Amino acid sequence: QVQLVESGGGLVQPGGSLRLSCAASGTIFSINAMGWYRQAPGKQRELVADITRTGFINYAGSVKGRFAISRDNAKNTVYLQMNSLNADDTAVYYCNADLWVSYGNRDTYWGQGTQVTVSS
């Protein structure tokens, strides 16, 4: 059974920084991609950033230049460094993993979510 464990959320002032972590564990044959989504009150869940096993990165336009995603494939862990945070970044952030759990069995998994609040 695959489990995604997130950490690093919290309360920060505008202009501050946070670093999120997500570690995947369990029966994992191969990681296709891992990334981060977020959902603010009254809004749909949206992609923030993701990164493939080979290192290809995709960012939402609203976070380019401020956020940086990275990963440690050996640890099945993905990180999100968030800088220059503003109120629009306030949301629950969810880790996502696109995994092969066996030959012919590919699934998407989600973490429990971690709250990020940007407020003065």
Spatial separation of the C-alpha atoms in residues 31 and 87, rounded to whole Å: 32
pLDDT score of 1 = 83
Question: Which portions of the chain are predicted below pLDDT 70?
Answer: none
pLDDT score of 33 = 94
Give first-to-last CA distance, the chain, whole Å. Answer: 40
pLDDT score of 118 = 98
Q: State what percent of residues in the chain have pLDDT above 70.
A: 100
Task: List beta partners, residue 58.
Answer: 50
Q: Is 72 exposed, middle or buried (0-12, 13-18, 19+ CB in 10 A)?
A: exposed
Tell me the two tokens of residue 29.
Answer: 């044959």
pLDDT score of 18 = 98
